[in-house]
Amino acid sequence: MNRKERTIFIVDDDSSLCRALGRLMKSAGYRNVHKFTSAEEFLSSVPFESPSLLILDLQLPGMSGVDLLKYLRVYGISLPIVLISAHDEELARAKSMKNPALSFLHKPFDEKELLSVIHSLIPE
């Protein structure tokens, strides 16, 4: 499957950032981009059978990004994930989970940096 045909999921409670990331993914050629403002909305809406990538904010109301990571691991759901946060302690806590399919970006991050990370996680 071509990298651009993969599905990109974005979970961030900042709706303006969520929209901006969605536009960035579309401009980079990704056709299947889905945005969610909470972990709960993501879990109730996502079919996990298609190859995908998740851009996940760690600071979410309700179920946190770290809690969502734990949920995915418990249920054996494996997908590449780019974790984003403005809080260093949350990134450090997520890094301790030792998942090779995780990448980390500190907000604010550069668009080129995000796309580079995504391309490293999604092989051609």
Looking at domain 3-121, which of 3.40.50.2300, 3.40.50.300, 1.10.3720.10, 1.10.540.10 is its CATH number? 3.40.50.2300
List residues bridging with 9 in a β-sheet. 34, 54
**Of 65 and 99, more confident:** 65
Domain coordinates in residue numbering, the chain: 3-121
CA-CA distance, 89 to 11, in Å (whole number)? Answer: 19
pTM equals 0.90
Work out whether the CA dihedral 59, 44, 72, 18 comes out positive or negative: negative
Mind listing the pLDDT tens digit for each residue in 15-66? 999 999 999 999 999 989 999 999 999 999 887 766 689 999 999 999 999 8
Within 8 A by CB and 6+ apart from 54, the residues are 8, 9, 10, 11, 79, 80, 81, 82
